[in-house]
Amino acid sequence: GAEVENLEGDWNPGRLVVFEFPSIDDIRRWYEADEYQPLLALRERTANTTLSIVEGV
């Protein structure tokens, strides 16, 4: 991805990925889906991540 520049604070993600979902309920269904759990476990073992929901962006 492109370079991320903070104007305030010390957050330095290195990489930023944005997903768009129709609703917060859809995000939660995706995140909690049985099919996603093996990928979530892999991501948690291999990467240092922060996952946030931002409504209306």
pLDDT digits 0-9 by tens, 35-46: 999 999 999 999
Whole-model pTM: value is 0.73
- pLDDT band, residue 1 (cuts 50/70/90): low
Angle at 23 between CA 11 and CA 38, to 5 degrees: 70
Long-range contacts of 51-57 (CB under 8 A, 24+ apart): 53/24, 53/27, 55/24, 57/18
- For residues 42 and 50, give the distance between their C-alpha atoms in angstroms, rounded to a whole number: 14
Angle at 6 between CA 50 and CA 51, to 5 degrees: 10
Q: Radius of gyration of the chain from Cα atoms? A: 14
